[in-house]
């Protein structure tokens, strides 16, 4: 179970883990898995047109979509990336998310930290403040600092099913540091945090 500290009933995990590199990772049992796609740095995917019910794997990172093709869960083992700006430059869809499916005007393409070893084309609609200055950005800075100090960091997050499209109202985030310290948070996808 995940998020039992911050959600009334928590999130049950599936009994059918997905092989991600040399690991097996479980995902929330409410998600359906019909397809698995392994990404490389050179793979270009449009974050507004992800496959529904799909597991995207990049390195030791798992990104799961729901029936609408919206990111619903991530399980990422973070690593520091050399020259993330060069990686972003190779991906013309890096700044796009939502497209015709976008619900909220003025949203950013909220990525999960290319500098933290995440794929540059995987993103969700994210409030610009949260993405650039708010809690998510503060987490990214903290995780990068921990990695530079030699710690290991794993991040799992569940994204609520928003109104429609690629927008999610709030996120439940769980960080695990050095396979020992576990912290869980709820983030609202707005400028409030």
How do the domains of the chain map onto residue ranges? Answer: 18-188
Q: What is the pLDDT of residue 187?
A: 83
- Run of H or E including 135: helix 135-148
Residue 138 CA to residue 48 CA, distance in Å, equals 25
Q: What is the pLDDT of residue 96?
A: 59
Q: What is the pLDDT of residue 155?
A: 94
Q: What is the pLDDT of residue 93?
A: 62
Q: Domain 18-188 class?
A: alpha beta
pTM of the model: 0.87
Q: How many CA atoms lie within 13 A of 166 on its CB side?
A: 29
Give the closest residue to 37 by CA, choosing from 47, 29, 45. Answer: 45
Give the closest residue to 18 by CA, choosing from 52, 49, 58, 48. Answer: 58
**Is the Cβ–Cβ distance between 154 and 62 less than 8 Å?**
no
Residues of the chain with pLDDT under 70: 4-8, 92-106, 109-111, 161-167, 193
């Amino acid at each position: 179970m995940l998020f039992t500290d911050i959600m009334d009933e928590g999130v049950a995990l599936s009994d059918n883990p997905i092989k991600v590199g040399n690991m097996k990772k479980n995902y929330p049992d409410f998600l359906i898995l019909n397809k698995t796609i392994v990404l490389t740095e050179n793979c270009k995917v449009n974050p507004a047109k992800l496959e529904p019910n799909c597991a995207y794997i990049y390195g030791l990172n798992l990104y799961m979509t729901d029936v609408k093709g919206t990111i619903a869960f991530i399980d990422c083992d973070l690593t520091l990336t050399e020259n993330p700006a060069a990686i972003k430059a190779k991906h013309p869809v890096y700044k796009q998310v939502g497209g015709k499916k976008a619900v909220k005007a003025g949203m950013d393409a909220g990525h999960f930290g290319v500098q933290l070893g995440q794929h540059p084309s995987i993103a969700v609609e994210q409030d610009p403040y949260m993405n650039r200055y708010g809690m998510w950005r503060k987490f990214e800075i903290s995780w990068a600092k921990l990695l530079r100090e030699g710690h290991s960091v794993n991040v799992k997050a569940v994204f609520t099913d928003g109104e429609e499209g690629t927008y999610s109202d709030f996120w439940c985030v769980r960080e695990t540091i050095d396979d020992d310290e576990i912290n869980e948070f709820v983030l609202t996808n707005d400028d409030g945090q």
